[in-house]
Amino acid sequence: MKLNYKMQMIISIVIIILANIITEMFDFWIYRSLGFCVCGLLWIIHPVLPNGAEVSKRTLQWVRIAGIILILIGIFTRVHY
């Protein structure tokens, strides 16, 4: 199955929601960080664009940069209660 933009967005949102639920269940922040890192890797490895977007090296590069930002969010943020 080839992922399109809509399906990859849904998968990313589900991963982040599940990571947040697991973090709340076990009260350990690393699961949320891992969720963001997995989503970032997904966008870096398989960059997709919405229908109608111009497909070029530059736009795919920006999608990969967004994946790197997701990974950085996962690495540098923690929530303490």
Q: What is the pLDDT of residue 2?
A: 84
| Domain range list for the chain | 5-76
Whether the predicted pLDDT of 36 surpasses 70:
yes
Helices (H), the chain: 5-26, 30-45, 57-76
- Look-up of token digits 């994946």: 67
pLDDT at 68 > cutoff 60: yes
Of all residues in the chain, the percent with pLDDT exceeding 90 is 74
How far from 3 is each of 46, 48, 56, CA to CA, in Å?
A: 8, 8, 18
**φ, ψ dihedrals at 26, nearest 5°:** -100, -5
